[in-house]
Each structure stands twice: as C-alpha cells, then as structure tokens.
Amino acid sequence: MLVHDEAIRATLPVWKGLMDTRTLILINVMFYALYAGVTLANARIFGGQRGARWFAGANLSRAGAMLLVLLVHWRRMPLRVDEALTGLFAVAGLMMLHWSFVELLERGPLLRRVQFGLLGTAVAAALFVVIWPPEAPVMVGAMCLVLGVQSLVTASVVFRFSGEDVGLAGWMTGGALSLYAATLLMRTLVTLQYRTPQYAEMAEQMDRVWMVVMLLANGVIAFGYMFLAAAKLRLELLWRAQVDELTGLLNRWALKRATMREIQRCKRAKGALALVMMDLDGLKIVNDTAGHGCGDVVLQAVGGVIQETVRAQDSVARMGGDEFCILLPETDLSEAVTVAERLRVEVEELVIRYRGETVRVMASLGVASSEQCGLTWQGLMDYSDSALYRAKREGKNRVVVAGAEEPVGVRRRRA
C-alpha cells in the first residue's frame, strides 16, 4: 500500500488527462469501503457467510493504509512514520484477506504460521524505518515484497481448494490475487533502481500502474469472494435438503433421486437392483421408558451400523421415524437377502449405552428386487414395504422377501 516517497513529494501531473495519484487513491478507498459494507450486509441478510468479518476487516484495513498515503501528500505526517503505519495496515489487511478465504473454504488454520511470520517481518521493518530511517526506499521494497508473498500464498489456497462446483470463480479470484502479487513484486524491483537518475519517474509510473491494477484486482477478488460464498451457501442448502439432520443419512427425496438414476442405468445395462426396507422393533418402548433423547441415540447408532455394513456404492436413507431404506445397485435378489440378513444380525448384536443403561433393539426387514416388480421406484417401494409389513406381522426380527403375490400400490401403517 506504500507509494514511493520520491513520487509523492514531487508535483504529480495529471495522468494523460484522466486522473492523478490522489484520485486513484480515493477511488480505491471508496471501493474498499463498498466491498466491506456489501460483504457485511450480505452476511447479515443470508445468515452469516464464513469469513465475512475477516473479509470486511481486510478491506477496511487496506482502506486505512491508502488513507495514510494521502497524509504524505498533504504533509500531515512524517514520511517514515507514515510508511511504517501504512505497511502494517496493508500487511494486516492481506493477512485478514487470507483468513477470510481459508475460513470460507473451510481449510482450518492453513498457512497461518506463514502469515504470522510475514506480519512479524513487517513489524520488524516498520520499527527499523522509524528508529533508523534509511535514505533509500527500503520500507517500500520490503513491504511490497511481503505483500506480494502474502497474495501468492492466498492465491495458492484459492486455486487449490475452490472445488469443481465453483471452479470459474476460484480461478478468477486466484488469478486476480496472482496479478496483484506480480505487480507488487514489480514495485519491489523498481525500488532497487533508486540510485538511477530515472528512478523518480519510474516510481511514479509504477505507482499509478499498481493502483490501477489494485482497483481492478480488488473488484475481481470481491466478486470472487461473494460468488464463492454464494456457491458454498447453495451447496450447504442442497446438502441439507438431501440429508436427514439426525442421522446424516439421505432423506426420502434424495433416495428417490438416487434410485431413479440407478433405474435409468439398469435399463441401459439390462441389470438389476434391490431395495431393502428396515423398521426397528422396540424403539417405541425405548422412547417411552428412556426418553426420546435415547431414541435419537439409537437411531444414530443404527444408521452408523447400516453405513458400515453396506458397500460404498449403496445408498442409505432414513425415511422417517424408525424406518430406514437401503438401495443396492447391481444386486440380485439372493445377494440382497444376504445383505438384509447381515443387517438384521448387526442391529440385533448392537449394544448401546445411554446414561449408564444398556439399550438394545432389533429390526424387521423387507426385500424387493427389480427382477420381481420391474424397474420402477413405486414398484420397489411397494413390494419392499409389503414384505416389511409381513415381517412385522409374522413375529418381527426377521427378513422377508417380497413375492409375486405382494400387493402393489398400498402402503400400510406399522406398529
């Protein structure tokens, strides 16, 4: 965020009749404040986006750094103090920008030590400039180098962890951060020319290029952050729409979608699939004697057992209450019965401890195959549900296979 002192102290001509350095600084400050305000407003309206406060703080900190630059123009502060404070505000701002993307992308404390190390370097450089002010623009070069490395570190996080669902926004944001880093590193190289006669003119031109690049890059970064935040929110809402909150399994809607996809695949490959309906025996007694909290623990434990027992390609859903459903792609009837029996045994052997008490439940299961009822969602549901009803009626804690005589189209209430 530092502007070279030679360029500042000189009388600044209008840049090709368009705008001078002060105008560019004020425009950047205005946009920094705008980005911070919009981010906070969006977070408040949409229930809090991850990293929103860090992103707003980053923009406000960087806006403060730019305003400090103006104090040098107006000769309201000693140059060495202004450079030190400007550098610290700028480094702190980019550190918060890094944290905002890390938190948004749910990467935990990724590369925080690097950011703290860079901040420590900036503090040391600021103290050096204040105590032993050099004649050469050492502070400018040092801070531009630190800021450039910070931007590259943040760009690497964005490139790596944006994900396929938001790939375009991630690449645009990472590209903007990389462009900003490259411009800062170019400014560092310019400071190395401070002994040459043309340094003042080079520094002035570089400052204007830097501020224009910063104006454009920050716009892309702000857009990218908001796009990533919106995409993350959409994915979270989509996940919540498909997952049972208590057990983490799929819900009925998500299972139906998965089944419809498998039905289409089976029609093309002329394959078979099976559906297993499971209903817990005795959960009502658990709820009545130990409370619904214990019942919730039982449901979570059973859901975990089912997921551990079936294959990775199988889909497990909680249909509601104490009823579960398992979709078994590429599975014939005999294989499905084997899976169902294994599930019954796993549930029967499951021992749950709740507040010092031992809780056990059993399960009744109904199995249906597309070989019997055809490749339709409703047919699979009705056949497996009818088989489950028979298992409950015939004594519970057993597996019943749907037969050709099973009624289709009628769902019955079970105890």
When comparing pLDDT for 111 and 366, which is higher? Answer: 366
Which stretches does DSSP call E strand in 249-322? Answer: 273-281, 315-320
Instruction: Give the total number of structural domains in the chain.
Output: 2
**pLDDT of the residue at 3:** 53
Q: What is the DSSP string of 3-39?
A: PPHHHHHS----BTTTB-HHHHHHHHHHHHHHHHHHH
Q: Which two tokens stand for residue 141?
A: 């070069």
User: Is residue 9's pLDDT more than 70?
Assistant: no
Predicted confidence band of residue 337 (pLDDT cuts 50, 70, 90): very high
Q: Are 80 and 129 in contact (CB under 8 A)?
A: yes
Residues 236 and 272 in one domain: no
pLDDT tens figures, 212-253 = 898 899 999 998 888 888 887 777 777 778 888 888 899 998
Unique residue bearing structure tokens 């990389």: 178
Residue that terminates a domain, selected from 242, 273, 308: 242
Q: Which two tokens stand for residue 46?
A: 């949409």
415 within a domain of the structure (yes/no): no
412 within a domain of the structure (yes/no): no
234 within a domain of the structure (yes/no): yes
Residues 83 and 209 in one domain: yes
Residue that terminates a domain, selected from 181, 214, 242: 242
The contacts of residue 104 (CB under 8 Å, 6+ apart) are: 49, 50, 51, 55, 225, 228, 229, 232
Comparing 94-108, 159-173, 305-319, 350-364, the range with the smallest average pLDDT is 159-173
Predicted confidence band of residue 276 (pLDDT cuts 50, 70, 90): very high
Query: N- to C-terminal Cα distance for the chain?
Result: 70
Residue that terminates a domain, selected from 206, 221, 242: 242
pLDDT tens figures, 98-152 = 989 888 887 767 677 777 787 787 788 777 777 777 766 777 888 888 889 999 9
Q: Which two tokens stand for residue 5?
A: 């002192």
187 within a domain of the structure (yes/no): yes
**pLDDT of the residue at 408:** 42
Unique residue bearing structure tokens 């809780």: 359
107-121, 123-137, 194-208, 324-338, range with greatest mean pLDDT = 324-338
Residues 124 and 80 in one domain: yes
247 within a domain of the structure (yes/no): no
Residues 126 and 198 in one domain: yes
Which stretches does DSSP call E strand in 71-220? Answer: none
The contacts of residue 330 (CB under 8 Å, 6+ apart) are: 271, 272, 273, 313
Return the exposure string of 325-363: e unless at least 16 CB atoms fall within 10 Å of the residue's CB, then b: bbbbbbbebeebbebbeebbeebeebebebeeeebebbb
Write phi, then psi, for 243 (nearest 5 degrees).
Answer: -120, 140
pTM over 0.85: no
Predicted confidence band of residue 47 (pLDDT cuts 50, 70, 90): low
Residues 260 and 236 in one domain: no
Question: How would you classify the pairing of strands 352-354 and 357-359?
Answer: antiparallel
298 within a domain of the structure (yes/no): yes
Comparing 36-45, 85-94, 108-117, the range with the smallest average pLDDT is 108-117
The contacts of residue 235 (CB under 8 Å, 6+ apart) are: 165
User: Is residue 405's pLDDT more than 60?
Assistant: no
Domain containing 261 equals 252-401
**pLDDT of the residue at 6:** 46
Q: What is the DSSP string of 224-244?
A: HHHHHHHHHHHHHHHHHHHB-
CATH for 276: 3.30.70.270
Q: Are 367 and 338 in contact (CB under 8 A)?
A: no
Q: Which two tokens stand for residue 36?
A: 């911070």
Residues 207 and 70 in one domain: yes
CATH for 134: 1.20.1070
Give the Cα separation of 200 and 163 in Å (integer).
44
Give the Cα separation of 415 and 406 in Å (integer).
20
For the packed helices 292-309 and 283-290, what is the interaxial angle rounded to 10 degrees?
140
User: Is residue 331's pLDDT more than 80?
Assistant: yes
Predicted confidence band of residue 196 (pLDDT cuts 50, 70, 90): confident
Residues 167 and 262 in one domain: no
Residues 144 and 291 in one domain: no
411 within a domain of the structure (yes/no): no
Neighbours of 213 (CB within 10 A): 17
